[in-house]
């Protein structure tokens, strides 16, 4: 089955700096890669996703890149703000809406 590895497990950055979280996946059939943000006391919320026919996707300060050959994808957050502090999960599936395999999570702390 699919295995998703996520690094780093914790990340501390200064406000205004960029943050990068990386994930690798094992199943070359996976074609849908969402990212979730989980704030304290809440469930994970979808923040951005990418499909395998696209190499990069941006939404304001966040972007995701996908390298199908190397089987890895990354989340980039620019100009970080204290409200970006949260746990972030990457995931992969074969087809959007099918069962996701999640990475282990990254705790991002943005220091003011």
Residue 78 burial (C-beta neighbours within 10 Å; 0-12, 13-18, 19+): middle
Least distance between another protein and beta carbon 98 (Å): 6
Q: Please, which of residues 13-32 interact with another protein by CB under 8 A?
A: 32
Least distance between another protein and beta carbon 53 (Å): 11
Binding window for another protein (CB under 8 A); candidates: 19-27, 65-73, 76-84, 85-93: 85-93
Bridge-based pairing of strands 32-38 and 45-51 is antiparallel
Q: Using the minimum distance from each CB to another protein, give the nearer residue, 6 or 16.
A: 6
Binder of another protein out of 43, 69, 70, 112 (CB under 8 A): 43
100: closest CA among 57, 66, 49, 41? 49
Burial code (b: 16+ CB inside 10 Å, e: under 16) for 59-72 equals: eeebbbbbeeeebb
Q: Using the minimum distance from each CB to another protein, give the nearer residue, 86 or 110.
A: 86
Q: Using the minimum distance from each CB to another protein, give the nearer residue, 29 or 79.
A: 29
Binder of another protein out of 14, 41, 60, 112 (CB under 8 A): 41
Q: What are phi and psi of 83, to 5 degrees?
A: -70, -5
């Amino acid at each position: 089955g699919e295995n998703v590895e996520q690094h780093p497990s914790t990340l501390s950055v200064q406000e205004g700096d960029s943050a990068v979280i990386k994930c690798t996946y094992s199943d070359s059939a996976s074609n849908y890669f969402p990212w979730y943000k989980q704030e304290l006391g809440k469930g994970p919320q979808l923040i951005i996703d990418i499909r395998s026919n696209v190499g990069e996707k941006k939404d304001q300060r966040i972007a995701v890149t996908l390298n199908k050959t190397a089987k890895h994808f990354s989340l980039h957050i620019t100009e970080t703000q204290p409200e970006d502090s949260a746990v972030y999960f990457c995931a992969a599936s074969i087809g959007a809406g099918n069962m996701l395999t999640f990475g282990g999570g990254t705790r991002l702390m943005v220091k003011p």
